[in-house]
Structure 1
Amino acid sequence: MAPSASPSPGLAVTAPVHQARVRVLHPGQGLPPAGAKPGPVVYWMLRDQRLADNWALLHAASLAAASAAPLAVAFSLFPKPFLLSARRRQLGFLLRGLRRLAADAATRRIPFFLLTGGPMEIPALVQRLGASALVADFSPLRPVREALDAVVGALCRDAASVAVHQVDAHNVVPVWAASGKLEYSAKTFRSKMNKVLDEYLVDFPEFAEVVPWDRDQPKDIDWDTLIDTVCSQAEDVPEIDWCEPGEAAAMEALLGTKDGFLTERIKSYDSDRNYPTKPTALSGLSPYLHFGHISAQRCALEAKKRRHLSPKSVDAFLEELIIRRELADNFCYYQPHYDSVAGAWEWARKTLKDHAADKREHIYTREQLENAKTADPLWNASQLEMVHHGKMHGFMRSK
């Protein structure tokens, strides 16, 4: 769907959110008639599971404040095979993070609606609440884009007055603003990013004050039962204990006084990050960035403040955090076959085809690979690290 240059009629705001970060998927029909109660704004949270430093939530709050309307947050669990094809390890981390988020939202008097029946419960919730606008997260992945299209289609059909906006709160530079096409390499992508980075890498504004919530309240959530039920349906890959989910834990990993990456370990990042025997040189932020418990933009802003401590390390971190990480979104957004060999560049497909008949020194079964029973001790060690700790050293992932 094509971006729109301005918010919906009647929902115009003095928005703190860069308008190129916002796409209007459906304009709605503006403000209600005089004397009518304005409908609430619902933020459909998915990829960015946090309240702080969240451009999508900030935009939703701005829309609500401009209309003197209340604000709510909704999260929908995807059904199989997308979300529930994840392992117990990922699902437990996700749900325990949401549990903390729901508690934080309650403290801020923002209602949190957890929907367990899939994304198509969103239109029903929007209509039940009489919402005036729905603000959605951005993800380049096919199942999420298809779900968003289905939700927009249902709302356009059944509730033409509901505006639907999408905000890229995950990338520092919105994926559609960074480049209009599939980029060939980090080199071509970097040059485009550097032209606009200063425009987008700005600090977050204060949260707009919205009127108190006066609509239907969310149902109480029995988190223990929900976590047990959902995780029991997943393959039994055990949860990890070295990484606590949630926004507070993410900020502690970034800025903590005991072992924070930017406060304690950033100086060795440039020199040691490619040595698997020196794992503390890595940031340890990947789980928090993946689940949206922390904003990449916050990480970048805090890193820039500390550039004087180690310019080379901070620059190397920003390269990985912004250029390399957002190049992956560019690939998934503009390459429809991102999850198959058909999505590889022609030279890569040709190389694979040319060497398909090459004799292999070893041919392993899936069981041998899963149990790290190969002839390569380094590969085995990397696989065991993934199995037992839920991660693999970044240098080994690229080999």
Structure 2
Amino acid sequence: MAANYASVQPGRFRVLKQGAKPVDPNPGPVVYWMFRDQRVKDNWALIHAVEEATRLVFPSPWPSIYTYQIPFFLFRGEAEETIPKFVRECGASLLVTDFSPLREVQKCKEEICKRVSDCVTIHEVDAHNVVPIWAASEKLEYSARTIRSKINKWLPEYLIEFPTLQPPIAKWVGTSPSIDWDGLIDEVLRKGAEVPEVDWCEPGEKAAVEVLMGSKSGFLTKRLKGYSSDRNNPLKPRGLSGLSPYLHFGQISAQRCALEARSVRKLSPLAVDAFLEELIVRRELADNYCFYQPHYDSLLGAWEWARKTLMDHASDKREHIYTREQMEKAQTADPLWNASQLEMVHYGKMHGFMRMYWAKKILEWTKGPEEALEISIYLNNKYEIDGRDPNGYVGCMWSICGVHDQGWKERPIFGKIRYMNYAGCKRKFDVDGYISYAKRLGDIKKRKAESLILSKKAKELCS
């Protein structure tokens, strides 16, 4: 593939390991380990890998028409084992990887740096955030207020159009192993059988673009005007962008979403500004927290005032105490909370407003803040299609531990953590309507499951 010369700003990537100068004057290939950003289009990590490969073969000035074939390899197993092994086998001189702030991924990369040859260089590219995490801020930010101006300062430099990548024409020296996609999908479905399959979200880059800009129900083309007024109403899920699963899996670039939204701002400035605040400032604040706070999933990661107030009230009497199993099965005395749990289980995604109420009630119904946080993260990561994400961790930490929030009026159990209750929800939206909506989701899933069982038995009888 061909890319424009020097199109990836130096601030978008960092060197995790600088390899020693090789004895062999002919450098090995460049390997791109695709992890968080699972796309070909609008991918700064892929663009950087292509540029570096071109630079190795053709010192500047580069021939603008030269392109590369990029084969795809799928490895199963632990990345700490498979990545160094492949880098060694193909004789790579540079390993490029995309960026994730999560602790397990960062530790994995540290181990890979130790296991590859001393001659191998490793670059990490932030292809997920509009403003790279280390460029936006060099420290843990306290709130959206403290990071917003820093991000806005860098947007003119980083919120730019992507270079065009041409179709590949050259051949990879070697063979690309065939991949048993059907077998792999069957195995994943078996392992995840406990979690209901969702059918409303079609995966892939094309589907992501359709959700953003489709002619039928695209967010920017058909649903944008209602975003400001409807996005906080759990009974209007279409009022949301619907992009979070695609952003989570990297099947669409946040930068592409921002560019397209900015281009239609004159049609609905309030909606676009609200969307860009969530897309850029809030998402990047979550990445900032998980990158600079190693305890992003623990009470140790709370601000000092919040940790103190939670511990001061940890032994307060609770009206109800529920186990994790009871919550997972939506067996509480609160029909609204049960509805939100059912929405998450059967739909794979809980409305953002309900996520806050949901997590805060878990704090109210457990023996202490540590258990509440553990249960909320467990359920979020298990059932949310966009779980296991910085936004999810920060959402739980905001709701239970007051991260990125301020202290409020002190009350039992919550201390100074922001409080939410059933009565407050009733003032904001049709609670009974939402409960009925969640129940219908469960009924639909149940009927589909029963239909599949009958269909399977019929096939067995016919065979």
TM-score, structure 2 normalization:
0.71
Q: Does 1:188 align with 2:150?
A: no
| Equivalent AA in structure 1 for residue 98 of structure 2 | D
Match in the other structure for 1:27: 18
Residues 58, 208 of structure 1: 8 Å contact kept? no
Residues 25, 165 of structure 1: 8 Å contact kept? yes
Q: Does 1:344 align with 2:302?
A: yes
Q: For residues 268 and 240 of structure 1, what CA distance do their matches in structure 2 show? A: 25
Which among 82, 92, 97 is matched to residue 131 of structure 1?
92
Residues 65, 211 of structure 1: 8 Å contact kept? no
Which among 79, 102, 105 is matched to residue 141 of structure 1?
102
- Any residues of structure 2 matched to 1:240-389 within 5 Å, and which? 240-389=198-347
Which among 80, 105, 117 is matched to residue 77 of structure 2?
117
Q: For residues 120 and 170 of structure 2, what CA distance do their matches in structure 1 show? A: 21
Which among 150, 174, 177 is matched to residue 132 of structure 2?
174
Alpha carbons of structure 1 residues 211 and 68: separation in structure 2 relative to 1, 3 Å: farther
Q: For residues 138 and 126 of structure 2, what CA distance do their matches in structure 1 show? A: 15
Match in the other structure for 1:48: 37
Cα drift, residue 33 of structure 1: 5.1
Match in the other structure for 1:67: 56
SS at match of 1:113: coil
Q: Does 1:160 align with 2:133?
A: no
Cα drift, residue 196 of structure 1: 1.2
The 10-residue stretch of structure 1 (181-190 or 204-213) with the greater mean CA deviation from structure 2: 204-213
The 10-residue stretch of structure 1 (315-324 or 369-378) with the greater mean CA deviation from structure 2: 369-378
Residues 54, 169 of structure 1: 8 Å contact kept? yes
| Equivalent AA in structure 2 for residue 238 of structure 1 | P
Q: Does 1:16 align with 2:2?
A: no
SS at match of 1:23: strand
| Equivalent AA in structure 2 for residue 369 of structure 1 | M
Residues 69, 172 of structure 2: 8 Å contact kept? no
| Equivalent AA in structure 2 for residue 379 of structure 1 | W
Q: For residues 273 and 213 of structure 2, what CA distance do their matches in structure 1 show? A: 18
Residues 267, 310 of structure 1: 8 Å contact kept? yes
Residues 41, 134 of structure 1: 8 Å contact kept? yes
Q: For residues 260 and 171 of structure 1, what CA distance do their matches in structure 2 show? A: 22
Q: Does 1:39 align with 2:39?
A: no
Q: For residues 169 and 218 of structure 1, what CA distance do their matches in structure 2 show? A: 25
The 10-residue stretch of structure 1 (227-236 or 47-56) with the greater mean CA deviation from structure 2: 227-236
**CA offsets, 1:295-316, max 9 Å, x none?**
0000000000010110000000
| Equivalent AA in structure 1 for residue 77 of structure 2 | G
Q: How many residues align?
A: 344
| Equivalent AA in structure 1 for residue 185 of structure 2 | I
Match in the other structure for 1:91: none
Gaps in structure 1 of 5+ consecutive residues: 1-12, 70-107
Cα drift, residue 286 of structure 1: 0.6
SS at match of 1:248: helix
| Equivalent AA in structure 1 for residue 105 of structure 2 | V
Match in the other structure for 1:90: none
- Any residues of structure 2 matched to 1:213-252 within 5 Å, and which? 213-234=171-192, 236-252=194-210
Match in the other structure for 1:204: 162
Q: For residues 31 and 131 of structure 2, what CA distance do their matches in structure 1 show? A: 24
Residues 69, 168 of structure 2: 8 Å contact kept? no
Moved >4 Å (runs of 4+): 29-34, 208-211
Gaps in structure 2 of 5+ consecutive residues: 59-67, 358-463
Residues 61, 207 of structure 1: 8 Å contact kept? no
| Equivalent AA in structure 2 for residue 57 of structure 1 | L
| Equivalent AA in structure 2 for residue 140 of structure 1 | P
Cα drift, residue 30 of structure 1: 5.3
Residues 254, 285 of structure 1: 8 Å contact kept? yes
Q: For residues 45 and 224 of structure 1, what CA distance do their matches in structure 2 show? A: 21
Cα drift, residue 338 of structure 1: 0.7
Q: For residues 64 and 29 of structure 1, what CA distance do their matches in structure 2 show? A: 17
The 10-residue stretch of structure 1 (194-203 or 322-331) with the greater mean CA deviation from structure 2: 194-203
Residues 140, 288 of structure 2: 8 Å contact kept? yes
Cα drift, residue 211 of structure 1: 6.9
Q: CA RMSD in A?
A: 1.9
Match in the other structure for 1:72: none
| Equivalent AA in structure 1 for residue 149 of structure 2 | S
Residues 68, 211 of structure 1: 8 Å contact kept? no
Residues 247, 254 of structure 2: 8 Å contact kept? yes
Cα drift, residue 238 of structure 1: 2.1
Cα drift, residue 29 of structure 1: 4.2
Cα drift, residue 230 of structure 1: 3.3
SS at match of 1:122: helix
Q: Does 1:58 align with 2:41?
A: no
Q: For residues 245 and 208 of structure 1, what CA distance do their matches in structure 2 show? A: 24
**CA offsets, 1:266-312, max 9 Å, x none?**
11101111111111110010100000000000000000001011000
Residues 65, 208 of structure 1: 8 Å contact kept? no
Cα drift, residue 209 of structure 1: 7.7
SS at match of 1:253: helix
> What percentage of aligned pairs have identical amino acids?
63
Alpha carbons of structure 1 residues 258 and 378: separation in structure 2 relative to 1, 3 Å: same
| Equivalent AA in structure 1 for residue 40 of structure 2 | L
Alpha carbons of structure 1 residues 127 and 213: separation in structure 2 relative to 1, 3 Å: farther
